[in-house]
Each structure stands twice: as C-alpha cells, then as structure tokens.
A and B are shown apart, each in its own frame.
Chain A
C-alpha cells in the first residue's frame, strides 16, 4: 500500500461512524493496539552523515529494513543512533522514498550500485517512481546486455576446450566456426577467402574486352570468349573448392536442418548452383538466355566474404534490425513517387515530343529527382512541370533524410557493441591471467607457510626461522583453516605445476622413473610422484620421452604401487615402516576411488608412529625433513594391484 494510506487510516476508521447507526449487528471491537509513544526523531548515521527523521516516516513501509524491527540490529546503544556502513549519497534517495513515497533513481550513480543499495534496504526495484522508471529500466537493460555479451563472448570466443574425446565432427565444426583455434583451420580460412576473391575477379575480368594478339580492331571480344577454357578451368576449381567446403560444413554441423536454413549456407548454395545447372543445361539458344541469367548469380560469391569480415556481418545485422525504418522509408518514397509522377505526367501531358509518355515513365524522373541525382534525360518543359519538379526534389531530400539517421545510429550502436566485445575479449584474457596470478599468490603463501610452519612444528631451533614471513591475523587463521581441512581429508594442498608434473610423469614406465628417482634424493619416488617439495626452488620434473598428458590406467596403478614402494627405503623406525607398508597395501586394495596421497610430515622420529597412525587412511607418514605431498584423484583397477606391488618391489 502506498505511504499515504497509513496516514489516512485513522481518518478512514473514524469515518466508520457513518455505518454505526445502520449496523444491524454489533460491530467488532477495535484491535487493542498498544498506545503509541507518540512520534520521535530517530537518528540514522550512514558512514558519518547523520540523517534524522520521524519514526512514523520510517514506519510507513513496514516491509523494509528501516520500517521493521530489522533496523534494531544496527542500533548502537552508546550513541543512541542507527549506524549503517553504506554509501550516504545513496541513502539520501532511500530516505526520500520514505518521505515522499517516490523512489528516484540517481542519474550519476552506477545502476548496479543503486540496485545493491535497494536490495540492502529491502526495497524492490519496482518502487522506482514513474519519473525515473524509464531511465532506470533502460540503464539496467543496457548493463545486463553488456554483461550478457561478455559472458557470450567469453564462452563463444575461444570456447571451452573441447573434451579430448570429441568426435571428428565436433572438431571440424569448431575449426570452421573459430578459425584461429588451430593452424589448419586458419589456413583453410585464408585459402577459401583467396578463392572467393579469385572467383569474383575472374567473373569481372571475363567481361573486359581484350585485344587479341593480332590486334584486329574489328573483333573485340570480352576476355571470357577469348580464353574460354582458362576461365572455365578457374571457375571449375573455385566451384569445386566451394562445394567441398559446403559439404564439409554440412557434415560437421551439429544441427543440419538449422545449418541448411541459415543464411550463409543459402549464399553458398546460390554461389555454386549456377555452375552445376550450367553443366547440365544443353547449349542451345532457347535456354542460353536463362543460362546467362544464372551466371549473374555467380556474383553472390562475394557475399561469402561476410564469413571473413565482421563489418559486413554487422551491416547485414543492422539492416535486419532496422527493417521497420527501411520499410517506412520505402513506403513513403513509393507514395511520394506515385504522387509526383502523376502530377508531372499531367503537367507535361500537353507538350509535344515529351518524355513523359505515361505515369510509369514518369516514375523514373521522379526517382532521379527525389534522390537529387538529376540525370537530365527527362526534363519538364512546361512551367507547371518545372514548379512541381522543384517541389519534388525538395520533398525528396526531406523524405530520405528522415529515416536515415535512425539507421545510422543503429549501425553505430551495433558496431560499437561489437568493438567493445572484441576489446573486452582481449582484455579478459589479461584480466584472467592476473586474477589467476593473485589466486596462486595466496596458495603459494599457504604452501610457504606450511613449509615454514612445519619447521616450527618440529620445535627445535633449526634456524630456519628466518624463512618465516610475518603473517597477519587473518592469514594465520586462514592458514589454520586450510590446515584443518587437510587434516580432515588427509590430503595436502599442492600447486598446479606440481600436480600437472605429477600427472605427466605418471604416464611413463614405472621402471625408468623409479630408477631415476632412487638415484636422486632420499625423497625417492615421492619426488617423482609429487615433485612438489616446496622447499626446492626447482621442481624435480623428470622429463621422460613420450610423456603424454593423458594418464592411462595402468600407469596409475604403477604410480600407486610406487607410492607404496617409496616408503620402504626411507629411513624410519621399523614399526612405522611396517605399519606404513601395510597401510599402503591395504589402501591399494581398498577402494575404487583411490587417492594416493603421500604425506610425509617432517617430525622428529619419536612422533612418527603417532602421526602415521593418525593419518593412516591417507597413507603413511614419511621421513622427517621433507614435506612432499601430492593430491591426485584416480580411478584404479585395483584388483590386481597386490601382485604388481610385489613384483615391483622385487626390482
């Protein structure tokens, strides 16, 4: 209900006195509303700026933050005021809504910020008053469109990486739609573009009269007739390429029906069809006329360039979106042409040897005059004809000048939108890279902390304290939280590089990796698997031949067995060794979704057994001094793991 209603309610209730004497039944008792304390002034402190208002004002809208008891959450008893840590400029508008009942939209503020403020104070955007509603809606729609464009551009630009098992068809389609995704697609793109150009130029050159080598001036032929075979060959080649391209696109299209109906495919068909029709049409004079007409359609090949040029596409889109304006233009022009042609015809009717032989004949004069071309092949000779001719040319200027700015502004808007989309796509990549960097910064901080923090855990003054960065309270608590999560899941966080390296190295044969790793630091295959020892500046990425990104199942098994294997050579107490090996073996046999996590928490040997028991589900604890971890999910066929373990350990 509107604000005013609350004010007038007492009056409406008082007016019920008119019903009292007429009531045939006793009227219900009045509700026992607690006695109002009278009005009081509330102070609302928004980021330092104090707003004071009557309580009644705020009570007008009980379903908002300020009108309900929700504002008590913001009450500061010490100062006796309601404190909101929000934008005071925006609050002005919100408070004015309570006062006047109309919500105005600030013109110089960002519309999204305004929306957020409204959401905070519990006002629905529909409350925006009529005076500002249109502008609010327009700006909001513009914003939403822009954001949607961004999303679209992001998705459609490079597109999500195709899954590795995408079919040939999908990959082909993607190559066609986004030529810059692969070199082959790009080459194809340019080749087709080149052949379109060649075809169009050939069509044009065909008609130029060229002198024969014997310089016979009497027989000037167009080049097409002079070198028919050459042009025919060129035409055939182009058409073959176009046909091939069309068929490939047809094959690759995800929805063939939709592809068949799309504009570009129609243009393709129209471009190549005349050739085939020409092949099958017999060369007699009856149909040669029609055949010649068909050749005209070859010029449509130039429209194939619209796949290559964005500007052309924008132009086409503009024309489509301005269809109503163009229609209006056409309609008004037609009207004017008919009117003026009629007038001119009758004005010039009396003259002898006049060009204005009929009204349709006068159409040509009218069109030429209205568009201010003025060829001069038809001119009025009577005075009346001249007067009306001048009126015709003046009105032509007006009629054409009216819808044109609309079309122009549409085109400019769409063009700029496109420019913006492209620009944003380019900026997006940089933005994302920077964001990723920032994110990895925090992760690195945590990993770093783990290193240093783990050193602290060791208790003894190892002198590594100098590595420890001073961390803010927030960081400390955050790291503690992450640590708790690690402990809960018995996995550790690692970084992308390590993880991908771990994946990469897994695909190799077990032997080579094992031997190499054994020869390396006492880390053993742990470094192979994880190679994420944060203390090392360089990762021990073992480069092996034929490492592929895809991880085969067999290699995963090997990795896990290696994991089990790894702990044995590590120097540990016997009990812990047995326990760990046993655990890892159990683990291997256990679940399908096996996560091999090798957690070596550097602790003094005395604590090792405890740690190992605690963290056994994830794997054993390792030797002291090294923190190596890997986080990896894999699905294993664990059925025949045990024998392999044995086998490898025998090596």
Chain B
C-alpha cells in the first residue's frame, strides 16, 4: 500500500499537468475524439447509443490489426521454390509459427530477435539491413516464404548465390553497386554489434580503415564503387572467403 501510494501520487501530478490521459493512461493522442468520448460518457442523457458511432472506428482498427494473419503457400510450392526437404520445411515453419503466430515478422520483432544473440552490443542497425535483405518485396514485413527463401539461398545455395545475396545485403539502395558510404554504414553496424568491451579496444577509425581495405581489395577499376561482377570476382579469388564458405554446412 505504501509503495503504491508513491506511484499513484506521481501519476496524479502528471494528470494535473494535462500531459497524461487519465482514462486510458496514454498521452493524449487523438484528442478531439477522446475528449468527445469522455464528455459524452459524463452526460447521463447521452446513453450508450451515442458512443458506438464515435468509438467504432477505433475498435475496428484494433480488430483489423489483430486479425491480420498471413498464411504461406502450400508445402509443395515451397519445396519447389527452395532447396529444403519437406521435413525441414515443416520444422522451420513450426518454429516460425510458434514465434510469430500472425505469420509475419515486422521490423521491430526482427530487431528484438536478433538482439538476443548479441547482448553485448547494439545489433539493431545490422538487423535493419538484414530485414531489408530478407524482405524481398519491400512490404515492411517478412513472411515465411521470404524467410525460407533467404535461408535456402544462404544455406543451400551455391557460392555464387551466397555472394549474390551478400551483395544484395550491402547494396542498401539496391542500385547495383556499393558505394563507400553504404559500405561504411554496414561496417559501422557490424562493429556496433561488438559493443564497448573488446580487446583490443575499438578505435573510432577502425570501420573506416576496414572499408578502405575492402575497397582496395574489391574495387578493381578504382572508380569508388563496387559492382556485382567485381565483387564476385574478387571474392572468388580470395582464399579466406572461399574457405569460410563451409560455415553454412550444418546450420539446418
């Protein structure tokens, strides 16, 4: 009781300031509608019949949001489109559906999920880039098909497929070439995931230096951008990259 008293008194003071909606507890949003609603509620003459017209829209909006549910195409189509077996697709979908009952992942969820794997640093920027890479139709949400398509390319695709996918990831504006600024953004986001406590300590210019070395390696014609052909060619010549491709062998 005592503890609650303190919190309640705080909220009361905010009520008096007018920065806090007393009834719904949210900051006053659609003020006109809410005010009218509240006023109508106070008056005894205006019975419940007056209210629905006012509140109907908001109720409908909420209802719509909750019933949005995306269902993937059939299992056979997904089998054709991706390189996963039927069982693998089933397992993937069960996991996906469990986490996202509505059938789609939006950006916020995506960021949250990805951040669980990198607790030390800030992975939100990189997660955004990933989200944009997975969201092939750019509708702001990643459905199961997008998800599985991306995974199929990365885990079951050829080396060229993977490199293509990576290029797509780096190319933020999807114009076919990677500029230094784009690369710098990507690099910074990756270094952000490391967090503050690293050994040796992260320096400010580390991403920039890394970008410089990358461009040195990849940019054949030194025109300041890396095109897809340059990228694939340079990567295929790089032994480290080729050797690291076996990273994806046992993921699923």
Q: A5-B117, A21-B166 are in contact. Are A14 and B151 (CB under 8 A)?
A: yes
Chain B contacts for A39, CB-based, 8 A: 87, 90-91, 94
> How many residues of chain B have a CB within 8 Å of chain A?
54
Max chain B C-beta neighbours (<10 A), residue from A7, A25, A54: A7
A30 engages B249 (CB within 8 Å): yes
Which chain A residues in 1-60 approach chain B with CB under 8 Å? 1-5, 7-27, 29-33, 35, 38-39, 54, 56
Q: A8-B99, A54-B94 are in contact. Are A324 and B244 (CB under 8 A)?
A: no
Closest CB in chain A relative to B243 CB, distance in Å: 5
Closest CB in chain A relative to B119 CB, distance in Å: 10
B155 engages A14 (CB within 8 Å): yes
Q: A56-B95, A324-B2 are in contact. Are A26 and B244 (CB under 8 A)?
A: yes
A30 engages B250 (CB within 8 Å): yes
Closest CB in chain B relative to A599 CB, distance in Å: 66
Q: A7-B96, A21-B231 are in contact. Are A14 and B246 (CB under 8 A)?
A: no
Interface residue B98 (Cβ < 8 Å from any Cβ of A): yes
Task: Indicate which residue in A4, A10, A100 contacts B251 across the interface (CB closer than 8 Å).
Answer: A10
Closest CB in chain B relative to A211 CB, distance in Å: 55
Interface residue A328 (Cβ < 8 Å from any Cβ of B): yes
Task: Indicate which residue in B2, B95, B249 contacts A7 across the interface (CB closer than 8 Å).
Answer: B95
Looking at chain A, what size class is its interface with the partner chain?
Answer: 35 or more
Closest CB in chain B relative to A434 CB, distance in Å: 40
Interface residue B202 (Cβ < 8 Å from any Cβ of A): no
Task: Indicate which residue in A17, A24, A30 contacts B210 across the interface (CB closer than 8 Å).
Answer: A24
Interface residue B116 (Cβ < 8 Å from any Cβ of A): yes
CA distance A308 to B147 in the complex (A): 76
B151 engages A20 (CB within 8 Å): no
Q: A8-B113, A22-B214 are in contact. Are A17 and B249 (CB under 8 A)?
A: no
A18 engages B151 (CB within 8 Å): no
**Residue of chain A at shortest CB distance from B119:** A1
B147 engages A11 (CB within 8 Å): yes
Closest CB in chain B relative to A87 CB, distance in Å: 26
B91 engages A325 (CB within 8 Å): no
Chain A contacts for B154, CB-based, 8 A: 14-15, 17
Chain A contacts for B91, CB-based, 8 A: 38-39, 56
Interface residue B245 (Cβ < 8 Å from any Cβ of A): yes
B94 engages A56 (CB within 8 Å): yes
Interface residue B172 (Cβ < 8 Å from any Cβ of A): no
CA distance A406 to B4 in the complex (A): 13
Interface residue B130 (Cβ < 8 Å from any Cβ of A): yes
Chain B residues engaging chain A, CB cutoff 8 angstroms: 1-2, 5, 87-88, 90-92, 94-96, 98-99, 113-114, 116-117, 126, 129-130, 133, 147, 150-151, 154-155, 162-163, 165-166, 169-170, 186-187, 190, 210, 213-214, 218, 231, 235, 239-241, 243-252
Question: What are 16 A-B pairs with beta-carbon distances under 8 A?
Answer: A4-B113, A7-B98, A7-B99, A10-B151, A14-B155, A15-B114, A18-B126, A18-B129, A20-B244, A21-B214, A23-B240, A24-B210, A29-B246, A30-B246, A35-B250, A406-B1
Besides A8-B99, A15-B154, A39-B91, 20 more A-B contacts (Cβ < 8 Å) are A10-B155, A13-B247, A14-B150, A14-B155, A15-B130, A17-B162, A18-B133, A18-B166, A21-B170, A21-B214, A22-B187, A22-B214, A23-B241, A24-B210, A24-B240, A26-B243, A27-B247, A38-B88, A39-B94, A324-B2
Across the A-B interface, give the 5 residue pairs with the lowest CB-CB distance, nearest first.
A7-B95, A27-B244, A14-B154, A26-B240, A4-B99
